[in-house]
Amino acid sequence: MSRALFVVGTDTGVGKTVVTAGITGWLRERGVAARAIKPAQTGYPPDDDAAFVAEVCGTDDASTCLRRLEPPLAPRVAAEREGVDLSYEELLDGCQELLNDDDVETGIVEGIGGLRVPLAGDREVIDLVADLGLPALVVSRSGLGTLNHTALTVAALERRDVEVRGVVLNEYTAEDVAERTNPDEVERMTGHPVGTLPPLETIDSDSVIDGVGAAIDVESLVA
């Protein structure tokens, strides 16, 4: 298996895709054959996380999406609404196949919503993280309330023997006391390093790759 990382979130809309795109693009700029993998995309169209990663990296080779579903719901629920079969084994095998691809040096798997999101059958996103056996990076909001959500997410991963390599607080502005104190508190509560990613002025390749590269130590995350 190639070097790999699973980017998980405390919720939907916390910035997993931006972080995934930044990590993938940062590695590719340094000559590493990195590929982002989205197991399932709901709300398609217009939502297309794999396409965003490809746009940031400037090539379709930078990302793959295994299944796309139209309803903006949890994958299991979206598949049920569409009357289509969504197999957990298909998603697990698809991720493993891409991670084992000889052309991929580093695989970055992006989660769907939070860890307890129903994925397929009776399996949830956290099952995929654990079954793939990948280390995880947790992406969280920066403001009030993130301490609880982040600590619970880290604890859930560790209960499944998932190695947590760090936390990223996204859209960090330090505008209030909660945001200014949250990085140190998250590190104290979880025992893991915490990076802060400020709001990006423009969502383009330079700002995403440079921003994520400055917020976290990418090389150590995927070592």
> Which residue has tokens 């956290």?
126
Residue list, annotated binding site for substrate: 42
Residue list, annotated binding site for Mg(2+): 17, 49, 110
With H, G, I as helix, E, B as strand and everything else as coil, classify residue 216.
coil
**What architecture does CATH give domain 3-221?**
3-Layer(aba) Sandwich (3.40)
38 carries an active-site annotation: yes
Neighbours of 32 (CB within 10 A): 18
Residue list, annotated binding site: 13-18, 42, 49, 110-113, 170-171, 198-200
Q: Is the dihedral of CA 134, 188, 115, 171 positive or negative?
A: negative
SS3 of the chain: helix, strand, coil, percent, to 5: 45, 20, 35
Encoded tokens for 137: 């990076």
Is 0.85 surpassed by the pTM of this model? yes
Identify each DSSP E strand in the chain by its residue range.
3-9, 34-41, 63-68, 106-110, 118-120, 123-124, 136-141, 164-170, 194-197
Question: Which residue in the list 28, 38, 76, 192 is annotated as catalytic?
Answer: 38
What is the DSSP code string of 92-121?
Answer: HHHHHHHHT-TT-SEEEEE--SSTTSEEET
Sequence letter at residue 138: V
- Give the whole-angstrom CA distance, residue 113 versus residue 119: 10
The domain locations on the chain are 3-221
Note down pLDDT in tens along the chain; length 223 residues: 679 999 999 999 999 999 999 999 999 999 999 999 999 999 999 999 999 999 999 999 999 999 999 999 999 999 999 999 999 999 999 999 999 999 999 999 999 999 999 999 999 999 999 999 999 999 999 999 999 999 999 999 999 999 999 999 999 999 999 999 999 999 999 999 999 999 998 788 999 999 999 999 999 999 8
Per the DSSP assignment, residues forming a β-bridge with 206 are: none
- Give the whole-angstrom CA distance, residue 124 versus residue 91: 12
